[in-house]
A = this chain, B = another copy of it.
Amino acid sequence: MSTIDLDEIIKALAHPVRRDILNWLKDPATEFPDQEHSTDFGVCCGQIDQRCGLSQSTVSAHLATLHRAGLIRSQKVGQWHFYKRNEETIQAFLDTLGKEL
């Protein structure tokens, strides 16, 4: 993602659960201690479902929104999807917002 979509990102951040997910992904080992896989690939969607305490489909929609906005990256390993923060986009967003506001 070379340019950021400010609109898409602000909308993605407008839900507190999505901000929580981004926050938890800062420190996967502490926030998701039950994950059996290494957190090198990121955090498995099942772990995020559990941490949110919401249905799989709801969390899946939140993750899709974050992913579409470029705030997280996903990687499929075997049958699992793993998610990480996209620090470049997050930083570019903060920089842009700081200038625009």
User: Interface residue tally of chain A, by bracket?
Assistant: 10 to 19
Do A100 and B23 touch across chains, with their CB atoms under 8 A apart? yes
Do B16 and A13 touch across chains, with their CB atoms under 8 A apart? no
Contact of A13 among B10, B19, B23, B98 (CB under 8 A): B10
Contact of A90 among B22, B90, B93, B101 (CB under 8 A): B101
A16 to chain B, nearest CB (A): 6
Do A22 and B101 touch across chains, with their CB atoms under 8 A apart? yes
Residues of B near A68 (CB, < 8 A) are none
A1-25 interface with B by 8 A CB criterion: 6-7, 10-11, 13-14, 16, 19, 22-23
The yes or no answer to A61 lying at the interface (CB within 8 A) is no
